Copies of this chain bind each other. A is one copy, B any other.
Amino acid sequence: MNNHNFKPHVVIVGGGFAGLACAHKLAKSDNVRVTLIDKNNYHQFQPLLYQLATAELSTPDVATSLRYSLRNHANVDVKLQEVTAVNPATRTVTTREGQSYQGDFLVLAAGSQANFFGTAGAKENAFPLYSVEEAQRLRSRILAVFEDADRDPKLVEQGALNFVIVGGGATGTEIAGALADMINLTMPTEYGDLAVKYARVYLVDHGKALLAPFPVKAHDYAAQTLQRKGVQLLMGIGVKEVGPDRVLLSDGSSILTRTTVWAGGLMAAPLAANTGLPQGHGGRIEVKPDLTVQGFPRVYALGDFANIAGPDNEALPQLGSVAQQGGAWTAKNILAEIAGETPTPFDYHDKGIMAMIGRDAAVAAIGKKRHELDGAIAFAAWLGVHALLMSGVRERIEAFIDWGWNYFGKCRPMQVLDRSDEGRINWGEGPESESLSDAPTVKTVR
């Protein structure tokens, strides 16, 4: 097979953990050519987006150019386009830019978006945290409310320094811890006039426990750690409405805030509805054990874009490691199919889960074991886990470890307030300008 154009063509939609891992593994084979399509020119490292939002990392720390990552592979072509429709019968995708790509194999790995579960005002007013752009927007908002309150301290009474996090999973717990550290450690040294001690972080979850997928003891450890950092936990409480200047809770109370972080769940990216393929929980594409779609043998769906059954028939969680392993497995299956073999069922190897609660605490669940870690050990373990996850992108590890030491050393924060949050905050006339029902305001203890 010397003529490039006669090699089987694999079209991959999405350069996340799943799509990029698949492309990297296929790139090593001389028997295929690959077109990787993504609406961004970069791969984003979702597990660290909360640190981009809290200005502890900068954009290039969590975003790697896809072209750069794949630059040494002549059989992989990257296209910066947004796939808007899929014809699974012909394995053809069409893009917003008006082009189409047809593959002998099609790999759908378009990822997720925030799931607001129909909560009123959430789409308009809340800050999700799944993409680099969303994290940049949240960072700009966090920095802007501190600056606005510094200019006019009365805005504190309008909730300028209240931060509400919706959802107590890994993302919600991690952003809560990072925000509390930012408020406790960084901001007081930087705002001479402003009483940063009035800043409050609230975490709201309709469930009873933080970090539900972790073992029970981790729930308590996470709660105690966040409370020690000053985070107010409102458990067993839902969010009824996210307004422009407050959040209305299911118990009838409200919290004045301009910064509601939505860590309340994910659903498949909008493309899923334009594939004609069966969608399951969260709108994700239903797949067979080998990650192909029933009735479409050479169409694969992976990562957060797919509902993948685990060994106990429960769906595998939306995790970078599931996506990455699924991508590599699919590449292996595609090469097997090209060699005339049958694709094999995806065998996910659970290496465990981990969440960082601020700089100095972490929880990990590895197999049946459970760990709560404090201080430097917590950080080192967390660093190691993420370095492993990054290993598809070898050259990044060293930079990442470098950064780790800086981070632990509490060095240079990335507090550059740019225009990512385009909408200037309209502070209006104060609490009187109600946009929600006149619910009682949650008392903030000062």
Question: Given the known A-B contacts A189-B71, A190-B65, are A418 and B79 also in contact in the complex, defined by CB atoms under 8 Å?
Answer: no
Q: Is A333 an interface residue (CB 8 A)?
A: no
28 A-B interface contacts by CB (under 8 A)? A40-B417, A41-B147, A42-B415, A59-B59, A59-B418, A60-B416, A64-B412, A65-B190, A65-B413, A67-B190, A67-B415, A68-B190, A68-B413, A68-B415, A71-B189, A71-B190, A74-B192, A76-B192, A77-B193, A78-B192, A79-B151, A80-B150, A80-B151, A97-B151, A132-B416, A133-B419, A395-B412, A399-B412
> A65, A99, A147, A191: which has the most chain B beta carbons within 10 Å?
A65
A interface residues with partner B (beta carbon < 8 Å)? 40-42, 58-60, 63-65, 67-68, 71-72, 74, 76-81, 97, 99, 132-133, 136, 143, 147, 150-151, 189-193, 395-396, 399, 402, 406, 411-419
Question: Given the known A-B contacts A67-B190, A67-B191, A399-B412, are A417 and B77 also in contact in the complex, defined by CB atoms under 8 Å?
Answer: no
For the complex of A and B, the 6 pairs showing the least CB-CB separation, nearest first, are A67-B190, A65-B415, A71-B189, A58-B60, A80-B147, A41-B417
> A133, A143, A418: which has the most chain B beta carbons within 10 Å?
A418
User: Nearest Cβ distance between residue A98 and chain B, in whole angstroms?
Assistant: 9
User: Nearest Cβ distance between residue A421 and chain B, in whole angstroms?
Assistant: 12
Considering only CB atoms, which chain B residue lies closest to A44 in the complex? Answer: B416
Q: Is the CB of B147 within 8 A of A68?
A: no
Considering only CB atoms, which chain B residue lies closest to A97 in the complex? Answer: B151
CB-CB under 8 A from A417, the residues of chain B are: 40-42, 80
From B151, B191, B418, A81 is in contact (CB under 8 Å) with: B151
Question: Cα distance A166–B110 when bound, in Å?
Answer: 42
User: Nearest Cβ distance between residue A169 and chain B, in whole angstroms?
Assistant: 27
User: Nearest Cβ distance between residue A364 and chain B, in whole angstroms?
Assistant: 29
CB-CB under 8 A from A143, the residues of chain B are: 41
Question: Cα distance A411–B77 when bound, in Å?
Answer: 21
What number of copies of this chain does the assembly contain?
Answer: 2
Q: Is the CB of A63 within 8 A of B416?
A: yes
Interface SS, A side: mixed
Considering only CB atoms, which chain B residue lies closest to A151 in the complex? Answer: B97
Question: Cα distance A375–B58 when bound, in Å?
Answer: 30
From B74, B189, B395, A72 is in contact (CB under 8 Å) with: B189
Q: Is the CB of B418 within 8 A of A395?
A: no
> Told that A42-B415, A68-B190 touch, could you supply 13 new A-B pairs with CB distance under 8 A?
A41-B143, A58-B60, A59-B418, A65-B190, A65-B414, A74-B192, A78-B192, A80-B417, A81-B151, A395-B412, A399-B406, A399-B412, A402-B402
CB-CB under 8 A from A189, the residues of chain B are: 71-72
From B65, B77, B133, B192, A192 is in contact (CB under 8 Å) with: B77
CB-CB under 8 A from A415, the residues of chain B are: 41-42, 65, 67-68
Q: Is the CB of A150 within 8 A of B79?
A: yes
User: Nearest Cβ distance between residue A424 and chain B, in whole angstroms?
Assistant: 11
User: Nearest Cβ distance between residue A392 and chain B, in whole angstroms?
Assistant: 15
